[in-house]
A and B are shown apart, each in its own frame.
Chain A
Amino acid sequence: MRKLVMLGLVVTVAMISGLVVWSAATDSGTASVGMQLEEIAQLVVSGDPGLITLTNAQTTAGLLPTEQTDATTSLSWTSNVASGSRKITAALSAAYTTGVVLKATLAEPAGSNGTSAGEQTLDTEAIEMFTGIANENCTQATITYEFSLSTMIAPITETESKTVTWTLLAAAA
């Protein structure tokens, strides 16, 4: 009986040893994977608006010429910063003749987290047009330009062409 017990013990120890050895038969190697997402702030204007003209035919006696609008262009942008930390500004390259006023409105496109500042008078100093931009990509936010006079001025015989610069930048800038 004692011999049987001894034999059983030896067999058990041998089996356990075998299992231990078996379970240790592994080896590992590692390799890293990284995705580096850079900050992205991209904005594009669809094109130039058409020529806006104020004429005698658009004027009612006793009033200033009726303002004229153009809504044929739009902005698209892509931004991947923290919520609400970017905005869009607009600025004129140079001032128009005194009395000539150019206003612009940037509509709120689908998919945007931001808010339009509504109609703003454009000047050579950048003005906020849209705020609260977060991680978003938006297309075809309509720009509505409104051309008017603040006072009656002498006719301008040559076309006055200015550039409006739209900028997507940090909200604190």
Chain B
Amino acid sequence: MTRIVRYIWLVLLLALVAIGVTSHASISITLVSDGWLEIIDKSDLIAGAGSDLISTYESTSDQVSINISGTTSGEDNWRVDVKRVDTDWHNSLSLYAQRTSNGSGSGTISGGSQYMTVTASDQTFFSGRGDRTGIEVQLKVSGVSIQIPPGTYTTTLYYTVVDTL
């Protein structure tokens, strides 16, 4: 009898592990974006010769489209973190992101609808439940000025979906 109980315990524990595997290992995030390259030239001077450059630039409202898939149900919770990894970024420039659409799907979505500063560390951007497609993101860069030498300044945004309890 004791042996049977022990086997039942073992089977239950293995089942829990299996549930864990199927619940959390398959969530994925896909991005649809060609990247955002903003070209700044003399036409961006505030008032022609003698004036500084416009300091803030925004991408289109659908610059990035995010799909979340692989959740177990419309109740499966997740969050999306965002950070940037600089290639050649000027320290006067600040980068912001905001979510401009809810996308569609069986679950829900919340947060991230105001611009937040994207830093080198992961920060919670928005969260939701279930699979969702077409979550649109808009980007903004501020701090542009004539004091920044000519050149191309690049960074990469990392969007990470985390399956949460």
Which residues of A are at the interface with B, using a C-beta cutoff of 8 A? 3, 6-7, 10-11, 14, 17-18, 21-22, 24-40, 42-44, 76-82, 135-140
Contacts and interface: CB of A to CB of B under 8 A. Distances in A.
Contacts of A137: 45, 50-52, 146
Contact of A139 (B50, B53, B147, B163): B50
Interface string B82-105: 001000001001010000000000
Contacts of B29: 27-29
Contacts, number: 179
- Ranked 8 nearest A-B pairs via Cβ: A76-B50, A25-B24, A25-B163, A42-B49, A29-B31, A32-B35, A44-B49, A139-B50
A34 B38 contact: yes
Given A33-B95, A42-B48, A7 B9 contact: yes
A3 B1 CA distance: 13
Contacts of A24: 24-25
Given A22-B20, A27-B28, A28-B29, A33 B13 contact: no
B162 interface: yes
Contacts of B25: 21, 24-25
A140 B40 CA distance: 25
B120 interface: no
B40 A33 contact: no
A18 B16 contact: yes
Interface of B: 2, 6, 9-10, 13-14, 16-17, 20-21, 23-25, 27-31, 33, 35-42, 45, 48-53, 57, 63-64, 66, 70, 84, 90, 93, 95, 139, 141, 144, 146-163
A21 B154 contact: no
B45 A35 contact: no
B48 to A, nearest CB: 6
B159 to A, nearest CB: 5
Given A21-B24, A35-B93, A29 B159 contact: yes
A120 B3 CA distance: 106
Contact of A78 (B9, B50, B161): B50
Given A30-B31, A31-B36, A21 B45 contact: no
A138 B50 contact: yes
A16 to B, nearest CB: 10
A31 B38 contact: no
A26 B139 CA distance: 23
B153 A34 contact: yes
Contact of A37 (B50, B52, B139, B148): B148
